[in-house]
Structure 1
């Protein structure tokens, strides 16, 4: 699909902008099921403002699972208000919002569920009840499968089969990485509630992804480095999120970090995972800008981008901040006991 298709379809068509992870793909598939004529593109918190230029010729614009970046909040919301004047805008997200963000009527926001579950609920009147299954895939992929609704929906399925299908889909999508053409091909069959194992090439991607993950695990085990509160691995040449998980595990620290250097931009892209109560989102939103970067996400899973020249200083500052937050938490906990 080319960008010129928006002009061919004109105002009779719909546009879906969504994230490229499993929750985003499932959210996009659910939205596509609700709006079968929709064109689907993948974007990110950093790129969404530019991608909104696509929205000018569409009647319906649905945005799923795109966190609001702190530095772009005002610009993004101004652009969205302009779009909402001429189109039916639906923005669905579950990431923490910057404090300065307003809550317009087109924004559907809930921190307690994944984007896939929220997308299903927002668009439920246009959907088959069976699309809950795709929402469950997204919930499993984003570690939100313990929400009250998902636990209730799981009763309608054989949980073992569902987790097999979800695991296969998640592994394939992670392996696909930035191959958005492959991910776009996943959206259409998922929007028709086709099980992942029946989607062409998906099982092969999942198998290759599992083999790569095992090699990655062994690599991280050998190469992990540690600070006082943080374990990290640099350029693991594999899945960043999984590398962060294994860094925390083998480094025996509460927070794991995977860093990948981007030569063209001269920056490090970072993925964090927390095994403790430290709020990664809040820490990154506060600390990353001090080093010329940006960051955020969820409390237990977040990402950042830091210039190469500031990387080492950022690591040590973030490590200290984790320790300070843990100490603060212990003091508050002891105060409650007293």
Structure 2
């Protein structure tokens, strides 16, 4: 309930601060009708978006990606990966002259954080995060190249190894 309600707030930091204040007063999320309605609404949106992602996701080797869906980048990455049954999912959005993205994998040894730091850095962007969840920003014109290089890094990491996901 709480996760869905928070997700529905997107970048509305005032709403998130209001929720934090409410919870800090030892109130239950389920006791606030507004929180419950937000959670239900977001759950409906999430199911609709899952279907959109299944239809819209594109594949570059071991990577499935969606771009500019106007929804959670992290969840988009998770659903894209699952929909296309690949190793890595990417949820991305265009912003001015660059693309911001969130990457997800269930395979820790892919070390997404190290890969995005190195690849995005070479392209004049930035990246970081964790082994299974990372974020990156690259110049818009280099987004596809980023995906291709990331796929090459995945191939090199998994060559001659059994990978379950």
| TM-score (normalizing by structure 1) | 0.46
- Corresponding residue of 2:149: 317
Deviation sequence 1:31-64 (CA, Å, 0-9, x none): xxxxxxxxxxxxxxxxxxxxxxxxxxxxxxxxxx
The answer to whether the 8 Å contact 1:171/1:205 transfers is yes
Q: Secondary structure at the match of 1:256?
A: strand
Unpaired runs of 5+ residues, structure 2, are none
Per-residue deviation at 1:200?
5.5
| C-alpha distance in 2 between matches for 1:179 and 1:172 | 12
Report the RMSD for the aligned CA atoms in angstroms: 1.8
- Corresponding residue of 1:272: 103
Deviation sequence 1:296-338 (CA, Å, 0-9, x none): 111111111111011111111111111111227x29x9xxxxx
Q: Stretches of 4+ moved more than 3 A in 1?
A: none
The answer to whether the 8 Å contact 1:283/1:321 transfers is yes
User: 1:33-112 maps to which residues of 2 (within 5 A)?
Assistant: none
| TM-score (normalizing by structure 2) | 0.91
Unpaired runs of 5+ residues, structure 1, are 1-167, 334-338
Higher relative contact order (CA 8 A, sep 6+): 2
Per-residue deviation at 1:215?
1.0
Q: Secondary structure at the match of 1:257?
A: strand
Aligned length: 162
Matched, 1:242 2:75: yes
User: 1:100-249 maps to which residues of 2 (within 5 A)?
Assistant: 168-199=1-32, 201-249=34-82
| C-alpha distance in 1 between matches for 2:131 and 2:27 | 32
Q: Is the radius of gyration larger for structure 1 or structure 2?
A: 1
Q: Secondary structure at the match of 2:114?
A: helix
| C-alpha distance in 2 between matches for 1:195 and 1:282 | 39
Deviation sequence 1:164-205 (CA, Å, 0-9, x none): xxxx11111111110000000011122233221224521121
The answer to whether the 8 Å contact 1:267/1:308 transfers is yes
Matched, 1:296 2:121: no
